[in-house]
Amino acid sequence: MRTVLFHETVFGPIHSRRLGSSLGVNLSPRDGKVCSFDCLYCEAGFNAQGTGSTGLPSRSEVSALLRARLESMRAAGEPLDVITFSGNGEPTLHPDFEEIVGDVIALRDEFYPDVKISVLTNSTRLDSDAVCRALERVDNNILKLDSAVEETMRRLDRPASKSFTVARVVEQLKRFSLTGVIQTMIVRGDGVDNTTDAEISALIEAYRAIRPRSIMIYSIDRKTPDELLRKVDRDELEAIAARIASATQLPVSVS
């Protein structure tokens, strides 16, 4: 079974195809996975691997580790484009997420004031005002919407909560109209295909309702735990992006 990717709380910098030179902040355990989705394509593996033994890092631990890393990077003259909340699960599940975001903003301002802060979230915690307040403070609030068709979303993302529905999350995503970035994984295989005309039409309708700042579409780039999934090639992604951009009049990027 494919297991977690990141064994540090602060990792990198790594090159992100979407964000550039990215220093990662992992609010999940270093040896396990904590997520409210169990996506077929997750690079960190399925949730069945367990939550590990290290537990969630404390707020003070995150702050101390990030300070030390930024301090050493600045002393060495290392470039940095972005600090990204990602890692072995869903960062907004951390009970101190809002406070940690505040700490990271303060450290960014102290060491690398021109660097952006990004959060990659699966959008399952948008019922929390604290989470939403924190997301409104970062530069790149990147919110997942892989399908606007309920059956496809449940098959692809496998949300833990039965109360999480497409209709509900689209309504919640409207809070981030003109500020949030919607990220959509385009993939096919193992009974899933969100490249069809009906799927793209449903996404267009959802994007129109949300009116995000921009849209990112992408496909798998590394080995996935469900080995039957297939990558959608760049030319097809570009065609889908062009259709979405024309129909929504919103910026759409492909990565």
Instruction: Assess if residue 172 is contained within a domain.
Output: yes
Mean pLDDT over 201-208 rounds to 98
Instruction: Assess if residue 1 is contained within a domain.
Output: no
Instruction: Assess if residue 135 is contained within a domain.
Output: yes
Portion of the chain with pLDDT greater than 90, in percent: 92
The Cα–Cα gap between 203 and 145 comes to 8
pLDDT greater than 80 at residue 203: yes
| Interval 58-113: pLDDT, tens | 999 999 999 999 999 999 999 999 999 999 999 999 999 999 999 999 999 999 99
pTM of the model: 0.93
> Which two three-digit tokens encode residue 64?
């101390």
Instruction: Assess if residue 3 is contained within a domain.
Output: no
| Interval 106-148: pLDDT, tens | 999 999 999 999 999 999 999 999 999 999 999 999 999 999 9
The residue range of the domain holding 160 is 10-254
Instruction: Assess if residue 98 is contained within a domain.
Output: yes
Identify the pLDDT of residue 199.
Answer: 98
pLDDT category of residue 15 using cuts at 50, 70 and 90: confident
Instruction: Assess if residue 25 is contained within a domain.
Output: yes
pLDDT category of residue 32 using cuts at 50, 70 and 90: very high
pLDDT category of residue 13 using cuts at 50, 70 and 90: confident
* Helix (H) / strand (E) containing 155: helix 150-157
**Domain CATH code at residue 129:** 3.20.20.70
Is the model more confident about 21 or about 176? 176
Token pair 């990659």 is at which residue? Answer: 120
Domain count across the chain: 1
Instruction: Assess if residue 174 is contained within a domain.
Output: yes
Instruction: Assess if residue 2 is contained within a domain.
Output: no
The mean pLDDT of the chain is: 95
| Interval 212-247: pLDDT, tens | 999 999 999 888 999 999 999 999 999 999 999 999
